[in-house]
């Protein structure tokens, strides 16, 4: 990490010259590389028309799949590219047999997309057990241990909680699930990029994440990993021509899913989003997840210390290794605070009862000072 010129990396993100941006957990900064890549997509569309699919676009899609596989320690054939997490959840839930095990275990601190999906599936006989948080920050492993039983098909939960920054031990969750005959599905939208993960070492069965945040790829692209030996057992009823084994036979009478994770991809991909996403992933892989984690936590630790020195109440995970680069500052009127900070060109976000701040590698210690000083002034106004 000490050999990296972080100031030079800031030059890759022009938005950092326009604001003090501490909100990557909502939307990662746009890189010059991503803007250039989208322009290249548009130029190909103009010059090549539909022939761009065969000469360029399909190759770019496969290159993105490989880039993400490198990041999480997977094989490219285990990766599906989707428009969002909801599409991934639909593909998985439509693929599983819930006739004997119809229970899903999630957490109250999970992002609502995850719980909403399984709540909607209740009309199909699926039940959802939502585990409460005893401290509004964490969910103990013991709670999963007690909740997972012979009726449980799936633990479906986040690696990082979006309102607390707490990092769950997904390896331990995988062990609990597997010991009791269930699978583990991880929503890693809040974690991938800022925190290293190796899906093979952790034993995760399925993982869904997206480009919007720490992967700096913008909206419209999500990544789904499904363990290779699990893929043949999952045949989605949410299907489409890009998931067909003989896609270009155009046979209306037969559908055979692809043998790899592409069976979950259904319809035509959003190619502009593919072009925007790949440079962000390349930057993450170029710097390295371990280095990004160390840099982000140095910034996060500095900012937390400064806030605590001034008497702000933080929702803080028990130990530093459980802390993501997400800081929750309790506040009585977070919407007004966020608005006033935005008037000063300081971009953070609000969540119920709190201001949420998220430094990333392209931020600086000086920006931490700017934020804390402004927060003092806004709160004291």
Distance of CA 355 to the CA centre of its chain: 20
Distance, in Å, from the CA atom of 214 to the CA atom of 39, rounded to the nearest integer, reads 22
- What is the model's pLDDT at position 301? 96
Report the chain's mean pLDDT, rounded to a whole number. Answer: 96
**How much is the pLDDT for 2?**
56
Residue 381: per-residue pLDDT: 56
The pairing of beta strand 103-107 with beta strand 127-131: parallel
Name the CATH code of domain 6-25+288-380 (choices 3.40.50.880, 3.40.50.2300, 3.30.70.260, 3.90.1150.10): 3.90.1150.10
The residues, any chain, with a CB within 8 Å of residue 264's CB and separated by 6 or more, are 80, 82, 88, 91, 92, 95, 224, 226, 234, 236, 243
Residue ranges per domain, the chain? 6-25+288-380, 37-285
Whole-number pLDDT of residue 239:
87
SS3 (DSSP) at 356? strand
Q: Give the predicted TM-score (pTM) of the model.
A: 0.95
Beta strands across the sheet bearing 327-330? 327-330, 354-357, 349-351
In tens, the pLDDT along 304-330 reads: 999 999 999 999 999 999 999 999 999
Collect the ranges in the chain with pLDDT lower than 70.
1-2, 381
Question: According to the model, what pLDDT value does residue 299 have?
Answer: 98
What is the CATH T-level fold of the domain 37-285, as seen in this structure?
3.40.640
Burial of 278 (0-12, 13-18, 19+ CB in 10 A): buried
Cα separation of 34 and 32, whole Å? Answer: 6
């Amino acid at each position: 990490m000490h050999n990296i010129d972080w100031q030079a990396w800031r030059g890759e993100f022009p938005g950092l010259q326009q604001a003090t941006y501490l909100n990557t957990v909502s939307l990662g900064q746009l890189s010059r590389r991503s803007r250039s890549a989208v322009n290249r997509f548009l130029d190909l569309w103009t010059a090549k028309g539909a022939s761009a699919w065969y000469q360029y676009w399909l190759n770019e899609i496969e290159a993105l799949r490989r880039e993400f596989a490198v990041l999480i320690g997977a094989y490219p054939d285990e990766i599906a590219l989707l428009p969002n997490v909801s599409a991934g959840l639909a593909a998985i839930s439509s693929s599983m047999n819930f006739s004997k095990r119809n229970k899903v275990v999630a957490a109250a601190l999970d992002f609502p997309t995850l719980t909403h999906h399984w709540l909607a599936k209740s009309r199909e006989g699926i039940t959802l057990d939502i585990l409460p948080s005893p401290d509004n920050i964490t969910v103990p492993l013991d709670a999963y241990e007690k909740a997972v039983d012979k009726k449980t098909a799936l633990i479906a939960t986040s690696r990082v909680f979006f309102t607390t920054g707490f990092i769950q031990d997904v390896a331990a969750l995988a062990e609990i699930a597997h010991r009791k005959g269930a699978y583990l599905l991880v929503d890693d939208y809040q974690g991938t990029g800022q925190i290293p993960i190796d899906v093979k070492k952790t034993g995760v069965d399925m993982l869904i994440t997206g480009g919007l945040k720490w992967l700096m790829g913008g909206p419209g692209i999500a990544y789904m990993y499904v363990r290779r030996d699990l893929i043949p057992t999952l045949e989605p009823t949410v299907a489409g021509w890009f998931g067909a084994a003989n896609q270009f036979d155009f046979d209306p009478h037969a559908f055979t899913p692809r043998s790899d994770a592409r069976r979950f991809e259904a319809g035509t991909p959003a190619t502009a989003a593919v072009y925007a996403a790949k440079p962000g992933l390349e930057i993450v892989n170029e710097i390295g997840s371990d280095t990004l984690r160390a840099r982000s936590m140095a910034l996060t630790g500095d900012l937390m210390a400064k806030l605590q020195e001034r008497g702000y109440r933080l929702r803080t995970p028990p130990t530093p290794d459980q802390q993501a680069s997400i800081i929750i500052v309790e506040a009585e009127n977070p919407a007004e605070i966020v608005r006033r900070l935005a008037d000063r060109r300081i971009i953070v976000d609000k969540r119920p009862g709190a201001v949420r701040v998220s430094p990333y590698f392209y931020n600086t210690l000086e920006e931490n000072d700017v934020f804390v000083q402004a927060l003092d002034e806004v709160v004291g106004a």
